[in-house]
Structure 1
Amino acid sequence: MGNNNRSALLKKPSESARLIFSAVVGVALGFFFGVLFQTFSITSLSLLPNITSTIDIAFVDNGQPFGHDIPSASKQHTNRSRTSRSHGSGDSLKIYVPTNPRGAELLAPGIVVSETDFYLRRLWGDPNEDLTTRPKYLVTFTVGFDQSKNIDAAVKKFSEDFTILLFHYDGRASEWDQFEWSKRAIHVSIKRQTKWWYAKRFLHPNVVAAYDYIFIWDEDIGVEHFDPEKYINIIKKHRLEISQPALEPMRGMMWEMTKRRSSSEVHKETLDRPGWCVDPHSPPCAAFVELMAPVFSRDAWRCVWHMIQNDLVHGWGLDFALRRCVEPAHEKIGVVDSQWIVHQLIPSLGNQGERKGMKAAWQRVRERCKLEWSRFHTRLVYAERQYFAGLGKG
């Protein structure tokens, strides 16, 4: 019995020593791993700017990303942090640029491309070598293939300084391939639509921003006495923002303002029938061109495009409202007499309508034109009255 008691007493100090040793080892290991994890975290965080900088320059060609300079990594990180604070985010890599175009606020400004053009691109090679020329002007015709000979003669007047864009209202776009120039033209084909329908949908100011001037012409224009290059030089000389070539006065009915004068290079005002012009500086005696062959500067078109109504496709009434897009309108809207055209008066688009009862297709189209004129005028007057009423001037 005595031996057994002594054995039990000897075991207790041994177990206590092991427990104490285990605790000390556990604390030491915990301290070691804690220090190691903290060091690893700090090192990882310090490497983040370098990692993101590597990502930023991953697609650099010859030291330049897409033709733009890259700021230093530290500067990029600083800019991103500053932007993040203004956005209210704790993520230093968050991008938010309120001055970017609407919808592009989450993109870095250097990658935002807000404007485009109709320049044709290759499917191969270096993109920087795609374009041998960059046309400065755009000419559009709304066409049916029945007028192909007339359009062929017109297009041949325009040099490679002009992008050619054809809007096909009859769906026969492929038949134009017989013309050599058609290979460099842009073709848009939707049946039974007007040029102002096309213009609203395909000539957004940001789409045509590469062009100094935009010609939006009908298909029944004779250009025997018209030189596009000389015309451009004249409207630049006279600082015309909205213009048209004069019309041969021997052909059909036309406004007095748009008739050709043989004694002048350009005219900006006229005398019309008594009572037609309340103000000599207002349409149709000044600040007025017709809609068959208008030419717009880039800046003027940006305004006019916004004024075109989405549902009023014939554009009637728009010619009287163009003056709202330039100032002073009676000086910046004019008719070029020395470069003149012939309006051939071919009612081809009218035949795209539908007959109903005793009314022919063209009659129903004409009724729609008159209806649109009335509605456009009503909308314009109402919008301006609402604006001035908001200013307390209504």
Structure 2
Amino acid sequence: MPSGFLHPDIVAPYDYIFMWDEDLGVEHFDAEEYIKLVRKHGLEISQPGLDPQSKGLTWQMTKKRDNSEVHKETQERPGWCTDPHLPPCAAFVEIMATVFSRNAWRCVWHMIQNDLIHGWGLDFALRKCVEPAHEKIGVVDAQWILHQSVPSLGNQGKAEGGKAPWKGYVSLSLLCLWEENHHFSKLHVRERCRKEWTMFQDRMAVAEKAYFEAMKIDPPNSTAT
């Protein structure tokens, strides 16, 4: 994973780190204006709003809103949010076009699992790197992008040899997205995606437990007195 090379000490001279996929349309995006809004609204972790015409648009949180600079919460499908301040209704952006502050990246960098092929589940864990997460994570509506779902690192958006263009790209992360949104029959890909998500969740739970024990503090929602 390329981000593994961006050690926090190496990128420390930069105020913000852009970790973006390669299949994004940026005709309506200005980085300098974006950073102005991020600073204005106190966002430590953010992403541009997604044009409603984007392919594979999964979450209401990431969808661009009209007549808005930034939004930090949303309404999702019934049962999807156990708490209005938790993902995917708040404290949530996708691992697609994420922008991290220097301090947030120092935390997120340690979450990256280089032995896993993709990053499913990481976007739900980002909230652990800022506090309060529902105020410091948000979507910038005034600067938006288009998710094309046509990876430029594959066959440049062209079908070759009877294969769809995305098949020229080896990332299982993208295959996971296509599996979920287009119902391809490659069950082994979907199973791998979900298995790795479970592995990531288990590792996070172990790491959190070790942290709280080392700090001699009770974890959130603990019943200890």
Normalising by structure 1, report the TM-score: 0.45
Which structure has the bigger radius of gyration? Answer: 1
Query: RMSD of aligned C-alpha atoms?
Result: 2.4
Kindly state the Cα deviation for residue 364 of structure 1 after the two structures are TM-superposed. Answer: 5.1
Is residue 2:17 matched to residue 1:205?
Answer: no
Is residue 2:71 matched to residue 1:256?
Answer: no
The answer to whether the 8 A contact 1:353-1:364 is kept is: no
Cα distance in 2 for partners of 1:216, 1:388 equals 29
Partner of 1:374: 198
Kindly state the Cα deviation for residue 382 of structure 1 after the two structures are TM-superposed. Answer: 2.8
Cα distance in 1 for partners of 2:213, 2:103 equals 28
Cα distance in 2 for partners of 1:383, 1:302 equals 16
Kindly state the Cα deviation for residue 254 of structure 1 after the two structures are TM-superposed. Answer: 2.0
Kindly state the Cα deviation for residue 374 of structure 1 after the two structures are TM-superposed. Answer: 1.2
The 3 A distance-change label for structure 1 pair 226 and 280 is: same
* AA in 2 matched with 1:272: E
Cα distance in 2 for partners of 1:199, 1:368 equals 21
Give the 5 Å matches for 1:235-274. 235-252=38-55, 253-274=57-78
Partner of 1:301: 105
Identify unmatched segments of 5+ residues in structure 1. Answer: 1-196, 355-359
Kindly state the Cα deviation for residue 392 of structure 1 after the two structures are TM-superposed. Answer: 7.5
Partner of 1:277: 81
Partner of 1:352: 170
Is residue 2:134 matched to residue 1:330?
Answer: yes
* AA in 2 matched with 1:331: E
Cα distance in 2 for partners of 1:313, 1:238 equals 34
The answer to whether the 8 A contact 2:53-2:146 is kept is: no
Residue deviations 1:94-121 (CA, integer Å, cap 9, x gap): xxxxxxxxxxxxxxxxxxxxxxxxxxxx
Cα distance in 2 for partners of 1:342, 1:232 equals 18
Cα distance in 1 for partners of 2:77, 2:59 equals 10
Identify unmatched segments of 5+ residues in structure 2. Answer: 155-165, 173-183
The 3 A distance-change label for structure 1 pair 211 and 365 is: farther
Residue deviations 1:9-54 (CA, integer Å, cap 9, x gap): xxxxxxxxxxxxxxxxxxxxxxxxxxxxxxxxxxxxxxxxxxxxxx
The 3 A distance-change label for structure 1 pair 346 and 365 is: farther
Kindly state the Cα deviation for residue 306 of structure 1 after the two structures are TM-superposed. Answer: 1.1
Partner of 1:227: 30
Kindly state the Cα deviation for residue 275 of structure 1 after the two structures are TM-superposed. Answer: 1.2
Residue deviations 1:308-344 (CA, integer Å, cap 9, x gap): 1231241110000000101111111000001000000
Normalising by structure 2, report the TM-score: 0.77
Give the 5 Å matches for 1:86-97. none
Residue deviations 1:230-263 (CA, integer Å, cap 9, x gap): 1011101111110000001233332110001002
Cα distance in 1 for partners of 2:217, 2:22 equals 46
More helix by share: 1
Is residue 2:93 matched to residue 1:289?
Answer: yes
The 3 A distance-change label for structure 1 pair 231 and 363 is: farther
The answer to whether the 8 A contact 2:118-2:171 is kept is: no
The answer to which structure, 1 or 2, has the higher relative contact order (CA under 8 A, 6+ apart) is: 2
Give the 5 Å matches for 1:143-158. none
Kindly state the Cα deviation for residue 279 of structure 1 after the two structures are TM-superposed. Answer: 1.0
The 3 A distance-change label for structure 1 pair 382 and 236 is: same
The answer to whether the 8 A contact 1:243-1:289 is kept is: yes
Partner of 2:18: 215
* AA in 2 matched with 1:322: L
Number of aligned positions between the proteins: 192
Secondary structure in 2 aligned to 1:352?
A: coil
Secondary structure in 2 aligned to 1:256?
A: coil
* AA in 1 matched with 2:129: C
